[in-house]
Structure 1
């Protein structure tokens, strides 16, 4: 028993703690997942080693993945930090190598920060932050050197221009400015030597050293030539036997001082006059023709330079300035002082144009920087998407490149611009990552759809539901179309697999469609055979159409192809029916006597409508009605029968064509036709409307009292109380809508006759309405005239007013007009007329009309105004006539006579 009891006891619970439980502060022994996660976070707050975190994650992730999420995040963070350290070390090494090199490539230094940011290097932490600052300072120094080179170049140009200008002035002015020029040239050389001796001179762009050297060489050549010419001029001024200087202006000045003739005037004077001429001391004289020629040449070059300078063309303005200087050297001594001053102003403006170009380029760069920074400062609701952000950044960088081509670089603005673009590019990177993830997801979904299509196609291999198969294929095609975007390369790789699977699934449908097309072609051939037969068999055509319909319902085809086959099938049948209709119309081409009579009556009615005579129109309408009913045909038949003695009278003109044919056949056979068969009595009425309220309709009589209907609301019982029920005498009502018999109609009309009589009657009714309106208007005008003149003789007769005015009413109006001493008519009469006619009352009478309406509500036994309007009109006519009352009476009677 003791052994059994020991065996039945439950095993003891394992209370041994996990080896890592003490390390993590009880994360493994915590009873709930939330407590385990909290203890894990507390343990991670102490920054444990990465090896310990990895070990704890390995053990805890098996038990509780939720609590191990914080461990996984810390491991990912450490991994990223480790990767960033490696990236930082790599980019720090590149930056140190560039700083240590004797020559720093500006493009590489400017691209270092952008490429490092794209690679994920931590530029905000050391050592990359310090290296970034050092590179920026180095770039700033190099850009400053390049800028100073351009300034020195401009200074050399300006010095050369000053020397050129002095060569056109008196030599004493040049001698006075010699010391100042010597100091300026020496200072320029000192600055140029300082630029070349700068430690960063080797890192400037390759185009700047040649610029500085060329400016220096050109300046020194001009300076040396100027000094030598001025020395010769000074010596020639002191010694009359010394050689003249090579500067034309100075040589002419020395020649004049010696008492000779200037070289520019020697060609215009005879040799004897030159030898015998005294030595005048007058200022230099220039030939007007020569001055005009020189100013024309200088003016042309000056205009070109001013145009290029105004348009801001830096390169073109530099070339135009060089051309102007060359022209000035040749013709400078012959132009006036005003033209010379204008030339120097234009050259100075051209020299400043390059500086303006630099300023304008910086302005454009500022705008681009602001645009780039605005991309990352947009509100959340207006943030650009990935694609638009990518396009915007690409456009901004292209514009920056174009700006760099128009002016020197600006590293400070480039730094801001590149930083803003890199920050905005994070949105593009996130979008690209999402696009890649979506592309992978879309590719997987498309591959799964291909496998599903293959399985579905295998399951539908032997199906007979072709419409269901086509519908399923359409659904798969729609799903493939909506499966998401793929790149062109991925789509080109996966598309052949989809086409192969789709073709395999659609094989049963395509085979069935080919067989169906063969069968339909056979039906089309049968249709052609039927249409070509001399006698068209309607039953065969109907059967053929039913076979086509069954085939179309069984096997679906493409809409366009099916429509094309259907058109080919129905074309011969339509042609056959058209031929049959044409033959029928040909056989019925001869108009019957009845139709001819109706057409003649319609023409007579149209002529009466054109005449405008109401009596003639009514007479023509009556004749047309008689023609439609066949009365004219009967009269004509009777007259013809009476005019042929000895012959047997034919039967009356029948209502149908068959009866007429029977009578003619009997007459030709010499037999006396039998009397016409009496018309069958009309069918009894099975149902009739309870209350026929239509014009001319018969109102139902109240049924005898009986048991109620289904809901107790109908009069009478189910059978006995309802007209036409089981208790009624169904044969007692020959008509359809009452006791009146059905109206007799004439023979059936042809299409032309029917349309002609319908149009003629409609036009006649419209003409009668128009004539009636005109007659009422004239009658009212005569009535108002008779009222104004108090002359009953001018009152029209009762027929002129229409059926609404009886002779008694007309007599009352005449009696009222005959009263020679009219009394003031009560205003109530006019108000009652306006109420009867339902026309508006003048504003000043509205309160009286409302009061009268309230009074009429209390007079229950008095007649309504619509019943006494004739008497009310007589009361108005008995009173005096005035414009207001006449207008109100006319409006009221116009509405009453028209209704």
Structure 2
């Protein structure tokens, strides 16, 4: 049976074993069933199998199993540690002579190693060791007390020897019993099993105390027996005890024996002065050392110095004078006091350490120490205890309290260490899985050309390795080479691509250096090289610093070449030629003419500027009398056939009986044409008088202009292609009805088609006309003159633009005034107020103006139908909208015109149609329609 066929059966059996944990509908129920199953303490193998299947289905429920497995794992580890330290404890307890320091070191080292001292079997061993140490300490105390008891018994014998012999005889039996009891206790102490574990000094001390006590007791009893015998028999010798002997002597009737005179001390032998001086020097040196150590407060050093002084004094004490001997005794007393103070201060420090250790677990809940902090605190406390032991005699009672408090607080450290070990194991597993994932990914990415995504994935792997959690130094030293090998193998293709990209970029840098060093900078080659660099940078990513360094090296020669070119251009611009200077002067003259608002002066200044642009020499300066222009009060008139070409903005800027719409601007080619002043006369003088005045002003303003140099004859045209582009204008005018629609200009908005082709549009500024150059209306190079510098070019362009705007504004004003005068003359039926031919523009001939004058003079005689039809023809010729109520009539007229192909078009008869409308009676609606039509027609 295959694994796929057994898996459902395994899941079913696991589900049955766990009480339905795999088939539970919700995660909470699965977790509860896992808890119930774990309460029965299942086997670790079963828990591992269930965890393996459940970890991929429900991580929340699997966490319970993982925690249980980790707990079992920790328990197995602690069992091994416990067995090791239990074996050490057995060996320690089996020794016949147990050292207290070794016993305390076992407990401390076991706690540091993480052994579970609170659980069996270490708990029982800990109790046994503590009981053994306590027994040894108690035995030491009993031995010391027993020595003191022997001294007290000896003192009792001495005291009784100073009293009467009868009192001593009464206390003799009690003393015998006490000495026998003391001997029995001394034998019990020596027979104790822990007697061999005591320090070697206790056994001789106890033996010497016993021998001294027995000697004193035997002497007492013998002297008392002799005293009793002397009391019974007067001839018996007196006892050696003076008090008892005097008492017996008095009882016999004699006097007490006087004290013998003190025997004179025989004079000592004479000592060599050199030996005496050497002895005093040795004693003074030892004394100075002791005094220095005592003054500095060194307890142990002062004890050693005192012992050395005693040894020197024992050897040379007989040859020391009384003054030096007194100093020696004072120094020894001070050293003893210092040793006692050191012992007292050490105990004070130990008591503070014990209080700190016992307070570690009594902190408030919010201030409890963590595992690492608790470990560092315990280590610091134990180090301080060692330092306190170095300054004084050890205190085992305080050490016992301190060690118990530290062991109790170390349980927090043990729990933290268990968690750290579990986390380290999990982090190690994660890092190993990441290494395998990197290896598999590297094999799957073979042949991948998306280096940006490749690099991004490598960075993600590196971040995951860095954030994979803490492990120990030993584990990290084991895993780091594996990671370096796997990550290096995965990064090798990318590093090879980076190396090849760097070589290509170095080649492009060399190429950029060659281009920058060339005398003529090739812009197309530079652009192509930059595009190649950008493509390379987008394909292969590099380190940001390295990429910026390569880019700076690539950009430097090109920037240097452009800076050199800019410097040369600025240098050439700084050296202004005579031609540029003439153009600048002419541009300033145009600006000054624009400020005057005189169209004639503006056109004259523009003509001089164009002559300067063609390279012609500037005209001679005018006399002072004529430099200021025409005399004050002179009236400018409009030349015939020129005003209509300058109309740009209609009656929005000029007063009129009705509102007018803005019209398109004229072509830019019309600006350069010489134009007379557009200021119309304010009065209604005769047209001929105004024409004579205009001619007189023109003659007075005319100035001799230098003859232009002869232009070369244009080359004959060999072939001209048919130009059907928008903007081309043909000389002939097609009849109406050939517009965009099927029936000519019959459209929904009432507009008729243009007089030209079907797709023709009005001319715009910049359109190329017949004979224009490559760039629109720009003339050929031989007609433009020498090349201008940047400053001169900008100045002449801005001057011409401002002149064009000023002329357009003046033309719009003249157009509005002329149109207003025509409508005013119609309303008042006064032919004298009709504008002159010059004011009306080139679109109106003298014959047409005469016809309009006759229509106004004859009075309202035209029929209403004829005037309406004439107005419709005007709107068709001007291509302006017709009111909605007249659309049917306009369509009917268009159909009528289609049947009369031989009749002239409305665009050809608009002058006569205007006369027909002017012959009709004045009407405000008709006047508004006539104004809209003439506004466009007078501009053509």
Q: Normalized against structure 2, the TM-score is what?
A: 0.42
Q: Which is greater in Rg?
A: 2
